[in-house]
Amino acid sequence: MKKLCLTNLLIITAIFGAHAQKIDYLIKNGYVFDGTGADSVQQDIGIYQNKIVFIGNSNKLAQPPKKIIDAKGKYIAPGFIDPHTHIERLLDSDDKEKRAALIWLRQGVTTVLTGNDGYGKTNVGQIFSNWEKNGIGPNVAMFVGFGPVRTAVVGDMPVQPTEKQVLEMQQVVEQGMKDGAIGFSTGLSYLPQTFAKTPEIIALAKAASKYNGIYDTHMRAQSWPNSKGAIEEVLEIEKQAGIKVHISHIKSSGPIAFGKSTNILKLLDAARKQGSTIDASVYPYTASANGLRGLLPLWAREEGTEKMVKNFDDPVSLEKIKAAVAQSLIKNGGGKTQLITTRSKSMANLNGKTVAEIANMWDVPEEEVIIRILKRNPTIGVISFGMDEGDVLNFLRKPYIVVGSDGTDSHPRGAGTFAKVINEYVIQQKIMPLKEMIYKSTGLTAEKFKLKDRGVIKEGAIADIVIFDPKTYKANSTYQNPTDLATGVQAVFVNGQLVIENDVYNGSLVGKVIRYNKQE
């Protein structure tokens, strides 16, 4: 009898404790997608400090909340998680609004990963401290990048490291992991990373693996059939380094590779059946963004900018370069698919124009356009329309592939990825249920990148939440205006703090640095 009374007392205490919970914000009347892949349920959500503390019928709460958000007719989801960004330039800015990274927040993206493509810095601890001191909009986790690591120890030239240098690079990666990095990233088609052979990459991946890190890679090749060897290299790194591997912005690039997503997915499916955990992210656009110099042959650019420009001044080298560029344009679909993008005021008249359009303006061959532009600005960017939407959708439908933007402020995917997949691919085209797309943008991503208590709506989880109107939520960014913000978001919470209300940002910078080795 005493045991029964004690049990009843515990139940009553638990119920009373839940109903008496202090609540800062109460979200009422919305349809909740919890980020697990489950369908929506009409529930109320209570937030106290930085956590979700109540889910259910708020009529039973004993204490009134400080503020009520009426989400009637709206959808509620965990804040979206973007596993691939190039957000550092914004977060490093002296401009508070740039550090807010509104192109992400206004979509409902509350957590981003950065340092992808091997661009992540080596001084992770210092960067994190700076961001914490100055304030940032979204939560951020960061990779140690292969490019800066190799440059710091080996340099930028096409040479192979000594055993001593490999050990030094491992120490740099380890220090980054100790400082809170989420893993090690590579961009193996970029200089100087492309000079590295597989054993070198395995050695550095092992350094990250010691701290349960993740290997994130822009593969050595992204066009079939060359991507077959690139995927096999990723699988070898996974096996030899004992590390979780993830392919960034998976694609079948170039007209000759259109329709080959099926071949790529067969490789991944076969590897996963044999025990690999390999997975990937994909962005919902058919254009990539790179440096214009990438159209040059490797020999013409591998020794750095100064040597590259000197090659343009040598008549023999120049003719070889032009011939190679002409072939590269043919392979990539020609000048009509190459869109110049630049922040340079002196070249603003070229921004948003294709190489073909500029060739007509200047009355010169397309390869001559590229040489002239690179002479004026060797670091200028180009957007290349080199993918087929059918392949993009094939990748997106795969259960183990998540949504990611590869976002910057010079390509519409930075400001539009998550709004686009929901508005165009779910609501308009109905390629998959909304619950599945939200899962691919929240809980599944958090699971794959081992982000604790994020990406889900449950009691005890961190209160990163987006409320959006399915009738008006959409991307507005274009290739000509890549930073036009998404619309249709009623509210965004970051770490329990309301930062966007009625589609208006309130100026708060409450994002947290996610130190991978010190997650709450």
Predicted confidence (pLDDT) per residue in 30-52, tens digit: 999 999 999 999 999 999 999 99
Torsion sign across C-alpha atoms 304, 306, 312, 317: negative
Phi, psi of 395 (to 5 degrees): -65, -45
Q: Report how far residue 266's alpha carbon sits from residue 191's, in angstroms, rounded to the nearest whole number.
A: 30
Q: Using the predicted structure, report yes or no on whether residue 375 has a pLDDT greater than 50.
A: yes
Cα(412)–Cα(479) distance, integer angstroms: 6
CB 358 within 8 A of CB 340: yes
pLDDT at 245: 98
Whether residue 138 is preceded by a cis peptide bond, meaning omega within 30 degrees of 0, is no
Spatial separation of the C-alpha atoms in residues 461 and 34, rounded to whole Å:
11
Given a cut of 70, is residue 81 above it in pLDDT? yes
From CA 134, how far away is CA 128, in angstroms rounded?
Answer: 10
* Beta bridge pairs of residue 494: 497
pLDDT of residue 469: 97
pLDDT digits (tens, 9 = 90+) for 434-449: 999 999 999 999 999 9
Interval 282-328: pLDDT, tens: 999 999 988 899 889 889 998 888 889 999 998 999 999 999 988 88
Largest CA distance in the chain: 99
Confidence (pLDDT) at 2: 47
Count of Cβ atoms closer than 10 Å to residue 302 Cβ: 17
> Confidence band (pLDDT; 50, 70, 90) for 346?
confident
Tokens 């508005």: give the residue. Answer: 423
Evaluate whether 469 touches 73 at the Cβ level (below 8 Å). Answer: yes
Domains assigned to the chain: 2-77 (2.30.40.10), 79-288+386-458+471-488+499-518 (3.20.20.140), 290-383 (no CATH)
pTM of the complete model beyond 0.95: no
Q: Is the pLDDT of residue 520 over 70?
A: no
Burial class (CB within 10 angstroms; exposed 0-12, middle 13-18, buried 19+) of 332: buried
Mean pLDDT computed over 325-346: 82
Amino acid 19: pLDDT: 54
Beta pairing class for 279-282 and 401-403: parallel
CB 443 within 8 A of CB 78: yes
User: For all residues of the chain together, what is the average pLDDT?
Assistant: 93
Q: Identify the pLDDT of residue 351.
A: 84
Instruction: State how far the Cα of 395 lies from the Cα of 391, in Å rounded to an integer.
Output: 6
Angle at 316 between CA 314 and CA 318, to 5 degrees: 65
In whole angstroms, what is the distance from residue 436 CA to residue 451 CA?
19
Q: What percent of the chain has pLDDT over 90?
A: 79
Q: Which of 85, 146, 92 is nearest to 110 (CA)?
A: 85
The answer to whether the CB of 459 falls within 8 A of the CB of 52 is yes
Question: Is residue 1 predicted with pLDDT exceeding 50?
Answer: no
- Please tell me the least confidently modeled range out of 279-283, 350-354, 451-455, 476-480: 350-354
**Which residues, listed in sequence order, are joined to residue 116 by a DSSP beta bridge?**
none
Give the separation between CA 342 and CA 291, rounded to whole angstroms. 10
Least confident range from 3-7, 11-15, 54-58, 384-388: namely 11-15
Give the pLDDT band of residue 8 (cuts 50, 70, 90). very low
* Cis peptide leading into residue 433 (ω within 30°): no
* Rounded Cα gap, residues 437 and 431, in angstroms: 10
Taking only the tens place, the pLDDT of each residue in 413-422 is 999 999 999 9
| Token pair belonging to 396 | 């997106």
Averaged pLDDT for residues 18-26: 81
Residue with token string 């020999």 = 299
Q: How many angstroms separate the CA atoms of 452 and 517, rounded? A: 11
Among 193, 190, 187, 252, smallest CA distance to 216 is for 187
Q: What six digits make up the tokens of 277?
A: 């955990």
Predicted pLDDT at 4: 47
Q: Does residue 499 contact residue 505 with C-beta atoms inside 8 Å?
A: yes
CB 418 within 8 A of CB 83: no
Q: How far is CA 298 from CA 233, 287, 303, 388, 480, in A?
A: 21, 22, 9, 26, 29
Find, among 185, 202, 201, 281, the residue nearest to 242 by Cα. 202
Q: What per-residue confidence (pLDDT) applies to 11?
A: 41
Q: What angle do CA 414, 417, 423 make, to 5 degrees?
A: 145
pLDDT for 344 equals 78
Region 121-150: mean pLDDT is 97
The number of helices, as runs of H, and strands, as runs of E, in the chain is: 19, 20
